Structure 1
Amino acid sequence: MRSLGELRVGNQGLGCMGMSQSYGVGDEAESIATIHRALDLGVTLLDTADVYGGATRPGAPADVSGVGANEELVGRAIRGRRDEVVVATKFGLADPDRKPRGDAAYVKQAVEASLRRLGVDHIDLYYQHRVDPDVPIEETVGAMAELVAEGKVRYLGLSEAGAATIRRAHAVHPISALQSEWSLWTRDIEAEIAPTCRELGIGIVPFSPLGRGFLTGRVTSVADLAEDDMRRNLPRFAEDNFARNTAIVDALRALAAERGVTPGQLALAWVHHQGEHVVPIPGTKRVKYLEENVAAASLELGAEELRAIEAAAPAVAGERYPAEFLKLSNK
């Protein structure tokens, strides 16, 4: 078990977004089987968001008809097993224009919709999905704190927030977790944001700890991706950058072979070794990949191995998001 502030969760969580959007067509039966297997293996933290199911690529207008689909799926999956689950969801990006919202009235509206879709009487960890640049973080977190007082939410989180914002938010109400992208090929938070979280006792929940699947080595070309796969719109998956970034996977594959594990397991184990307050949420909609990811949580790495793994990814070609979505990150 690991701690996100005062919230105790399993060593690794499960990102559920891809079950409903972004990575090709989903299969509800397989997705629910994956969630059930995760619970059987001791994975307690399930991560979703109100917008999941309502967008296909970063920066794209939301498909309003699909908003909430992933929360509904997770709700169906945990029915009868609620006491085994730490439910985490997010608000703030579900408007059609994908503009972040954090005004108090919207916070209260969003939580009621999420509670209904999830079929629960409280949310264990409630995140603001992206910081609203037009609303003081004090107003947003103040409204979220009221939800805690009302028993609708247990713990609060932020996603992709910057260090100064985290400090201001934490001064209003304890922030238990920061969800941000963190992996061998996305290390932006290490300079200032991660140290701030350690100082304040805030857990970190890395999303895309496998580089959106790239670090597993299973994606060998852009042609492997479905036509509606969001990765086709990400700079790091653009043809020239893809070819350059393949060298990272090749180096990881060689190191992994020495340990008898997969490149993805090695990359995920590296994230686990960033601290006891770090709980990655690799996403998958298939049982076999879930089991592979869970096994990585118990892989022990020595100091020399960690240095060798980091050396395998000295530089990454391309930004992690298109410019219009990147501007919302780490603010």
Structure 2
Amino acid sequence: MQKRRLGAHGPMVGAVALGTMNFVGTYGEADPDESLRCMAECLEIGIDHIDTSNVYGMGRAEELLARFLKDHRGRITLASKCGITRDPQRPFDNSADHMRQALEASLRRMGVDHIDLYYLHRHEVARPIEEVMQTLMRFRDEGKIGAIGLSEIAPSTLERALAVGPVAAVQSEYSLWSRQPELGILQACAREGAALVAFSPVGRGVFGAEAPDPAGFGDRDLRAGMPRFSPENWPHNLRHLHRFAEFARDHRESPASVAIAWVLARGDHVIALPGSRSIAHMRENARGAAIRLSPEQQDEIGRLLPPGWAHGARYGEAMSRGPQAYC
């Protein structure tokens, strides 16, 4: 596994990380033992950066992770997040009191005394980012977190945050079908020495060996409410995905591996963050870090999947309230 730096002064970690959101049923029922086996296998193949959040399963992902960290903490760069409440009346809370309560609860659930990288999961619009950074810097100075991250923010928010203190990483959805980071945050992170941690680089499974069937999504599957999977949009998207899958197989690679390789080729500061509880899928994802796409291959991918090719918005109305739009 190739290594990349997690922020200007951060540790070297695997270019492919592991997200834990679907360890707790976000895309359907999950088996905890299968998730634990997946984490152990990931560590053996060089995936040593694990990302979670206090709201994944309302803390259950962190509780499951504690079982793994008990024996492997020293080999893991651990990231978690705060700032989302799951309260419909106040979905985001960046107050110092709320963030401290969230941090202390995460530390208890995971059985650790510090978190290597701690993100603001979503920015509460009414609260200045400068105030939020001061809270995060207090956590850092207390030794409870190692580095500060921000998630789904605009370049302007990063600029203001950096005027207060260092930001090691920015997490944004980035894949061949979600390209907004190319309009500013990808470049801003490169300028400022921050890692861009690209979540859902396999497009929530659409670049898997077999594209998902939205008709089979259960009630708990997050994708069921996403416009790109709607009956109106999915058939159009599927045609593009089939062409990309043929390209990957013509090069004797899986679509997921090529999708990861494409994301990593966007810059040396980019880290891919897929989420899976399948060992086979994570091996495909890790394979992406070993693929070097030629300029000609990248051009061909660009013709198959040009910016803006996906039909439908990436989020529905409710989920679109948190990420910051900047173009």
TM value normalised by structure 1: 0.93
The SS at the match of 1:297 is helix
Note the C-alpha offset of 1:220.
Answer: 4.5
CA displacement 1:218-241 (0-9 Å, x = unmatched): 234212323421111110000121
2:311 counterpart of 1:321? no
Note the C-alpha offset of 1:325.
Answer: 1.9
For residues 253 and 202 of structure 1, what CA distance do their matches in structure 2 show? 32
2:77 alignment partner in structure 1: 86
Q: 1:292 aligns with which of 249, 272, 284?
A: 284
Q: Is contact 1:184–1:310 with CA below 8 Å preserved after alignment?
A: no
For residues 306 and 330 of structure 1, what CA distance do their matches in structure 2 show? 28
Counterpart code for 2:176:
L
The SS at the match of 1:156 is strand
Comparing 286-295 with 123-132, greater Cα deviation is found at 286-295
For residues 312 and 123 of structure 1, what CA distance do their matches in structure 2 show? 40
Note the C-alpha offset of 1:312.
Answer: 1.6
1:1-331 aligned within 5 A: 1-5=3-7, 6-7=9-10, 8-53=12-57, 67-97=58-88, 99-314=91-306, 315-330=309-324
Q: Is contact 2:96–2:132 with CA below 8 Å preserved after alignment?
A: yes
Q: Is contact 2:16–2:47 with CA below 8 Å preserved after alignment?
A: yes
1:60 alignment partner in structure 2: none
For residues 251 and 95 of structure 1, what CA distance do their matches in structure 2 show? 38
Q: Is contact 1:10–1:45 with CA below 8 Å preserved after alignment?
A: yes
For residues 312 and 209 of structure 2, what CA distance do their matches in structure 1 show? 18
Note the C-alpha offset of 1:36.
Answer: 0.7
1:58 alignment partner in structure 2: none
Note the C-alpha offset of 1:50.
Answer: 0.3
The alignment of Structure 1 onto Structure 2 pairs a total of residues equal to 318
For residues 122 and 234 of structure 2, what CA distance do their matches in structure 1 show? 27
For residues 37 and 224 of structure 1, what CA distance do their matches in structure 2 show? 28
CA displacement 1:9-67 (0-9 Å, x = unmatched): 111100110010310000000000000111111111101000000xxxxxxxxxxxxx1
Note the C-alpha offset of 1:265.
Answer: 1.3
Counterpart code for 1:254:
E
The SS at the match of 2:107 is helix
Counterpart code for 2:62:
E
For residues 325 and 226 of structure 1, what CA distance do their matches in structure 2 show? 18
Across the aligned residues of Structure 1 and Structure 2, the Cα RMSD in angstroms comes to 1.2
For residues 220 and 187 of structure 1, what CA distance do their matches in structure 2 show? 20
For residues 320 and 264 of structure 1, what CA distance do their matches in structure 2 show? 19
For residues 87 and 108 of structure 2, what CA distance do their matches in structure 1 show? 20
The SS at the match of 2:281 is helix
Q: Is contact 1:252–1:266 with CA below 8 Å preserved after alignment?
A: no
Q: Is contact 1:21–1:52 with CA below 8 Å preserved after alignment?
A: no
Counterpart code for 1:329:
P
Counterpart code for 1:293:
N
